[in-house]
Structure 1
């Protein structure tokens, strides 16, 4: 019966949408949604607590690092399990933060630096985060 129901839901988006609407009213669904929201809030608070001082140290715009940065990085890290979040290596984080501070108005560069910071903060992908992937930008050019 469960396989038949799953197949019907897969083949009929309206049925799936109707079932989801019904499920939203159940206490179990609301508890699950609250749990996910709490985990996201904790993750964002951790990111904010760690990254804000580093951003200020790197000379970043306090407006961006106090308002948008926590949400931007949290969005990049939304699929990273809490137990996989780590402090990134300074040789990656500091140049990326400094470059990000000068790139917040340039969407493509901003995305690239956020992706690098998120990759460096994930234990599963941190070995792929290297300062050498930064572009030849005045703030990241080696002397």
Structure 2
């Protein structure tokens, strides 16, 4: 076997394993429905809300000085900026924001 064959075989095996371990949207929905009122789900929701709060705090700290530099009014920044930023960055995965914040390459 050559190196290319080994790499190709490993890639195919990894792809097959990933597909076998993934679940359908219907399965995920059903599991979420079953787990809805469990203590584990409450803990997960609490952890998620804390993560979102930390994310927003970090983003506000990063963008506060930048906003002042470009002349955005302090009133807007203190009242609406957080909500605007949350709405505009909602689609960005937390892991990607963490890489941006810590300066890692994508």
- Please indicate the TM-score interval, normalised by the length of the shorter structure: 0.5 to 0.7
Confirm or deny: 8 A CA contact 1:48 1:70 kept in the other structure.
yes
Structure 1: distance between partners of 2:105 and 2:75: 29
The yes-or-no answer on 1:28 pairing with 2:47 is no
Q: Which residue, 75, 80, 83 being the options, matches 2:98? A: 83
Question: As a proportion of its length, which structure holds more helix?
Answer: 2
Which residue matches 1:10?
A: 26
TM-score normalised by the chain length of structure 2: 0.56
Task: Give the 3 Å change call, closer, same or farther, for CA 39–59 of structure 1 in structure 2.
Answer: same
- Greater RCO, CA 8 A, separation 6+: 1
Query: What's the CA shift for 1:46?
Result: 0.7
Confirm or deny: 8 A CA contact 1:44 1:70 kept in the other structure.
yes
- In structure 1, the gaps of 5 or more residues are 88-120, 125-143
For the pair shown, the structure with the greater C-alpha radius of gyration is 2
The yes-or-no answer on 1:45 pairing with 2:57 is yes
The yes-or-no answer on 1:66 pairing with 2:78 is yes
Confirm or deny: 8 A CA contact 1:84 1:122 kept in the other structure.
yes
TM-score normalised by the chain length of structure 1: 0.44
Q: CA RMSD in A?
A: 3.2
Moved over 4 A (4+): none
Which residue matches 2:17?
A: none
Structure 1: distance between partners of 2:84 and 2:105: 19
Aligned pairs, number: 81
